[in-house]
Structure 1
C-alpha cells in the first residue's frame, strides 16, 4: 500500500463520524469538508506544518512559504490571508464561488512554483513584522516549558529570516505543502467545478513530539509586573475543556468580583496536537496588588483541586456549551475545527457524541483534572515568587560547566567565560550557564566576532570579544569549528558604536539564561560591593569621615549660617577632587587587573 493510499483510507475512517451536516470528498488527493451557509463562501486550506516543526536556526521557513505563496495573488477585492501557527498553516478566503475557486487554484499553483526571486524581500518584511509585533504576557511560557525547540520556538525571533536559502525554502515547500499533508474546508453544499488542488505527493506528517525543559513541576518563573500566568498541559478531552471554563469563572469571581484585585481574569483551553491541549489562565494586577493576586490565584486553584465547586456551577457551564448545538448552520460552524482535527489525527465527534460526553462530566472528573493541571503547572509570577505555595523555581543555571580556557570578564570580577572543546560556559556567582555544541539550537555570528549560543534547553551564552580578556580570533574559531554548520546563523555587521564596551553593555546581554527569565542569574552577574578592593573601601570611608568632621567644625566655628555656607563651599572643592581622583585610581587599577 502506498503512503497516499494509506492516508486516504485513514481519512475515510476518520470521516465516518461526520453526520449529514458535513459532506466530504477528495479533490486531487486533498480531503475536502463542506457544509452550506447562506451568503458568501468561506474556505480554508490547512497544511500540517508550523513553527513547532522547524529548528531555531531555520525558524520562519514556514512563514516564508506562506508569504511567498500569497504574493502572486496580488491585490484583490476578495478577502484572503494566511496564518502560521505551531502545528498548522492556514490559507483562508471569503468570496463568491468563482472568486474562491480562483484563489484556491492560484494558491496551489503558487505553492508548486514559489516566486523565490522575492525571497530576500519577504525575509525583510517578516523581520519588520516581528519588530512591530507586541509580545503577550505569556509569550515566554513555551520557552521555559519546552526549551529552544519544538513548541518552544514560538517564544523566539524567526532567525531563519537572516540565513535561509532558496533551496531550503523550496525543499520545505515540496515536502510539507503536499496533497497528503492538507485538508480543505468550505462553506458550500457542493465541491465547485473547476477546483484544481494539484500539489506534490507526500505524506501526512504527525505533529512533533513535545520536548521538556522543566525537570520538576509544578514550577514557577518570574515575569513582568502586572501579569500573573498559569499554564499546564492536559490530555484532550471534553472534561478538560469544561474545566477551563470552570477555572475562568472561578478566577473572575474570586479576583475581580469579590477581591477587586484584577480587571481581567480568565482561562482558555487550546489543542496542541492530536492528544494534548494547553490550559492557560491569566490575571492582571496593579503593582501594589500583585501579592494579593498571586495568593488569590493559588487559592482558587487549590479550591478546585479540593473539589470546592458545586453541581449547579457545572450544570451552568454544561448548559452554555450545549447551546452551541442550537447554532444555525451548525455544520458550517464546525468545519474549521473538524478539518483541524482531521489534519492532526484527533478523533472527530459527532454532535450527539459530544453532547453525550458533556452530559457525562462529573464534579469528580473536574477535581481530577484540577489536580493534573496543578501537578504539571508552570506559574509566571511577579515579585517574590511562589515557593510558599509549593512551586519550585525553574532552573536558573545549568547543572555543570565545561572545561577549557578561562576568560575573565572586564566588567565583573565574579564572571568568567569558559571556551572548551565540548561547549561554552559562563561562570556566574550563582552557578554556571552552559551551552554544549552537540545541543546547540543556534549560534548567531557577527563579523566582529560576537557569538550568541542558544542551547536546546533554552540557556544562552553571549560572547562579546570586547567584554572578556584574551578572547582571540583563534578562540572564536574553536566555536565556529565545533558548532554544527546547520545551527550557525550569520548576522550582518553592526555599527562600531553598537559594539558593547566594558561597563556599557545592557544587563540583558549579561544574563545568558533563557529568554525572558533568569532573574537570579541576572542579579548574580551584577558586580556588588563584595567585589570592591579593601583599600578602595577604606579610602572612601576615610574621605566621608573627613568630610563630616570638616562640616561639624565649620558649623561650630561660624557665627552665622551665611558664613558657614561660604566656608563649606570652599571646603567642598578639594574634597570633591580627592573623591574624583580616588574613583579614577580605582578604575585604572581595575583595568590593569583585567
Structure 2
C-alpha cells in the first residue's frame, strides 16, 4: 500500500462515530471526547482533567498498555493490544464514563490528591501564557486557570460536565485497524454539541510583553485564506528555518518547540517556545523577528523549502509518521472540523512554491505576540526589531481609565515582613498594588474568580487574565477595608475556597505564593 492510498473510514456503532485507518503499527483504539479546557468557564476550566482521572480509576486493572489525556481541545482514553483486549478496554471506558454521572464528593478525594501531585501546588493559582494574554480567560486562554478550583469543585459540578459533554453525541472511537465486529459502545445518549466560533483576540495587533517563565515564546494565528496543506507546510518551514538560524548558526538555543491548534474551521493558533540563556534573549527575539519578516515577505528560499518538504515526505513514509497524521486528523474530526485527506495534503505539499507560503507566514507576523521572561529588560536590538514588526508593548495590569475616587486609601506592608516595600491602594472601583519596580491594577468590575485560602489570603483573577494574591495580614489596618472592597466585586464572579478539601487526612494545602 502506498502512502498516497492511505484511506480513512467512518462508521457508526451504537450511535457513536467510528473513525479508522489501516496503519502498519500495533493495533490501537482511542475513545475521544470533543471537549477540553477551552470549552469550560473560568470556574470549571480543568475539570475535564478530573473526569479523566475518575474514569481511569474506575477501569481497574487493564492488562494492556493504556493511558488517557485531557488537554485544551479534547479528552481521550487509549490502549494498544489484541482486538479482544481492545474491545474490553473500550467497553470499560464507556461504563466508567457513564458512572461519572453518579460520582459523590467522596469519590473525588483520591483523584484530587493524584492530580495535585501531578500538576503541583503552583497550579492552584492563576498563571499567564501566550493564549491567556491573547484571549483573556476565554477559549484557549482558559488554560491559565485550569486547576485553580481543583480543591473546591463539587461532585455536582463534575456530574454536570459529564452530562453535558461525555456522551455518544460528542464521542468518537478511533482505531488504527478495522474495528472488531464484537465492539459495542454503551455511552449515554446526547446531542452533538453546537460549537461557537472561537473568541476573537484581545490584542490590538502585533504585541510584546513580559510574563512569568524562563522561555521566549512567540505565537500567532493563521486564517483559512490559504489551504490547510500550505499552512501546515509554512509552520514546518518556520520551525526548520528558526532552528537552523537560532541553534545551528548562532548557537543561542537548544530547543525550538512548535505547537499548533485548530481553533475552529477558519483559524489556527500556533506557538513557538525557545530556550535561550538570559544573555541571549534579545538576540534570539531579534533574529526570530528577522526570520518571520523574511519568510512573510519573500517566502523561504528554494533550498529551505525543499529541505523541509523532503523531511516531511520521509516522515510520512514511516508508521509513526502516518500514526501522527491520523492522530491530528482525528483530533479535528472529533470537534467537527473538516480536515483534508492525506492524499490532498500530499498533493499540496508536492505543489507548494515559496510564494504559496508567504500568506500563511504573513498571518503569523501580523498577529505576532512575543513574550519575554518576566525579569528580562529588552535591549535596543530587540526593541528595534519589534518596532519594525509593528509590535507594541501590552500590560494587562495597566489601567484603561483613571480611578473614580481620586487617590483612594493606601496601606503599606509591615516593616518586618515579606511585604515590606509594597503598598496596596484601595479605590471604589479597583485595587492597586505598587512595588519599587511595578504597579498592578485589578478593576473590580472585571474580576471573575475570588479564591480564599485558610490563611485569609485572597486570589483575584480578572477576565482579561490579570491576577493578584492579597495577604491582608501583611498590611497594617488593611483587612476590614479590603473586605469591604471585596463586596464591590460583581455577583457574577465565582467565589470559592481554595482549600475547601484536604489533600491528606490531616493537613490542608499550603502555598508559598504571596502578594
Among candidates 154, 161, 167, match of residue 150 of structure 2: 161
Task: Indicate the larger mover: 473-482 or 103-112.
Answer: 473-482
| Alpha-carbon separation, structure 2, partners of 1:297 and 1:325 | 28
The question of 1:491 aligning with 2:498 is answered: yes
Among candidates 63, 75, 96, match of residue 77 of structure 1: 63
The question of 1:286 aligning with 2:272 is answered: no
Among candidates 93, 98, 102, match of residue 112 of structure 1: 98
Residue 514 of structure 1 is matched in structure 2 by none
Offset of residue 280 of structure 1: 2.4
CA contact (8 A) 2:444 2:488 kept: no
| Alpha-carbon separation, structure 2, partners of 1:98 and 1:446 | 49
Residue 464 of structure 2 is matched in structure 1 by 457
Residue 44 of structure 1 is matched in structure 2 by 30
> Against the structure 1 CA distance between its residues 107 and 276, is the aligned structure 2 distance closer, same or farther, given a 3 Å change threshold?
same
Gaps of 5+ in 2: 415-419
What SS does the aligned partner of 1:46 have? strand
Residue 441 of structure 1 is matched in structure 2 by 448
Residue 118 of structure 2 is matched in structure 1 by 129
CA offsets per residue over residues 124-155 of structure 1, 9 Å max, x none? 22112111899xxx972223222233312223
> Against the structure 1 CA distance between its residues 484 and 95, is the aligned structure 2 distance closer, same or farther, given a 3 Å change threshold?
farther
> Against the structure 1 CA distance between its residues 92 and 133, is the aligned structure 2 distance closer, same or farther, given a 3 Å change threshold?
farther
Task: Indicate the larger mover: 152-161 or 89-98.
Answer: 152-161
CA offsets per residue over residues 462-492 of structure 1, 9 Å max, x none? 3322233433447515525744366112133
Residue 88 of structure 1 is matched in structure 2 by 74
Give runs of aligned pairs for residues 358-397 of structure 1, distance below 5 A.
358-382=349-373, 383-385=376-378, 386-389=382-385, 390=387, 391-395=391-395, 396-397=397-398
| Alpha-carbon separation, structure 2, partners of 1:455 and 1:402 | 17
What SS does the aligned partner of 1:161 have? coil
| Alpha-carbon separation, structure 1, partners of 2:142 and 2:330 | 24
Residue 344 of structure 1 is matched in structure 2 by 335
What SS does the aligned partner of 2:209 have? strand
> Against the structure 1 CA distance between its residues 109 and 240, is the aligned structure 2 distance closer, same or farther, given a 3 Å change threshold?
same
| Alpha-carbon separation, structure 2, partners of 1:174 and 1:359 | 45
CA contact (8 A) 2:217 2:274 kept: yes
The question of 1:408 aligning with 2:432 is answered: no
| Alpha-carbon separation, structure 1, partners of 2:241 and 2:322 | 32
Offset of residue 209 of structure 1: 1.9
Among candidates 179, 201, 218, match of residue 230 of structure 1: 218
Give runs of aligned pairs for residues 216-365 of structure 1, distance below 5 A.
216-221=205-210, 224=213, 227-235=215-223, 237-265=228-256, 267-307=258-298, 309-323=300-314, 326-327=317-318, 334-365=325-356
| Alpha-carbon separation, structure 1, partners of 2:269 and 2:42 | 22
Task: Indicate the larger mover: 142-151 or 85-94.
Answer: 142-151
CA contact (8 A) 2:14 2:184 kept: no
> Against the structure 1 CA distance between its residues 205 and 110, is the aligned structure 2 distance closer, same or farther, given a 3 Å change threshold?
farther
CA contact (8 A) 1:147 1:211 kept: no
Residue 86 of structure 2 is matched in structure 1 by 100
Offset of residue 180 of structure 1: 0.8
| Alpha-carbon separation, structure 1, partners of 2:89 and 2:392 | 51
> Against the structure 1 CA distance between its residues 295 and 400, is the aligned structure 2 distance closer, same or farther, given a 3 Å change threshold?
same
What SS does the aligned partner of 1:246 have? helix
The question of 1:202 aligning with 2:205 is answered: no
Residue 577 of structure 1 is matched in structure 2 by none
| TM-score in terms of structure 2 length | 0.82
CA contact (8 A) 2:299 2:354 kept: no
Give runs of aligned pairs for residues 466-481 of structure 1, distance below 5 A.
466-473=473-480, 475-480=482-487
> Against the structure 1 CA distance between its residues 121 and 142, is the aligned structure 2 distance closer, same or farther, given a 3 Å change threshold?
same
Offset of residue 419 of structure 1: 4.9
CA offsets per residue over residues 542-561 of structure 1, 9 Å max, x none? xxxxxxxxxxxxxxxxxxxx
Offset of residue 274 of structure 1: 3.3
CA contact (8 A) 1:440 1:455 kept: yes
| Alpha-carbon separation, structure 2, partners of 1:258 and 1:304 | 17
Gaps of 5+ in 1: 1-17, 501-505, 511-594
Task: Indicate the larger mover: 302-311 or 263-272.
Answer: 263-272
Offset of residue 190 of structure 1: 3.8
Query: Aligned-pair RMSD on alpha carbons?
Result: 3.5
CA contact (8 A) 1:57 1:488 kept: no
CA offsets per residue over residues 482-518 of structure 1, 9 Å max, x none? 44366112133999xx999xxxxx8x744xxxxxxxx
Offset of residue 118 of structure 1: 1.5
**If each structure's helix is expressed as a fraction of its own residues, which one has the higher value?**
1
Among candidates 51, 56, 74, match of residue 42 of structure 2: 56
Residue 425 of structure 2 is matched in structure 1 by 417
Query: Aligned pairs, how many?
Result: 481
Offset of residue 217 of structure 1: 1.8
Give runs of aligned pairs for residues 561-576 of structure 1, distance below 5 A.
none
| Alpha-carbon separation, structure 2, partners of 1:472 and 1:401 | 24
| Alpha-carbon separation, structure 2, partners of 1:392 and 1:330 | 39
Larger radius of gyration: 1
The question of 1:68 aligning with 2:75 is answered: no
What SS does the aligned partner of 1:163 have? coil
CA contact (8 A) 2:128 2:211 kept: no
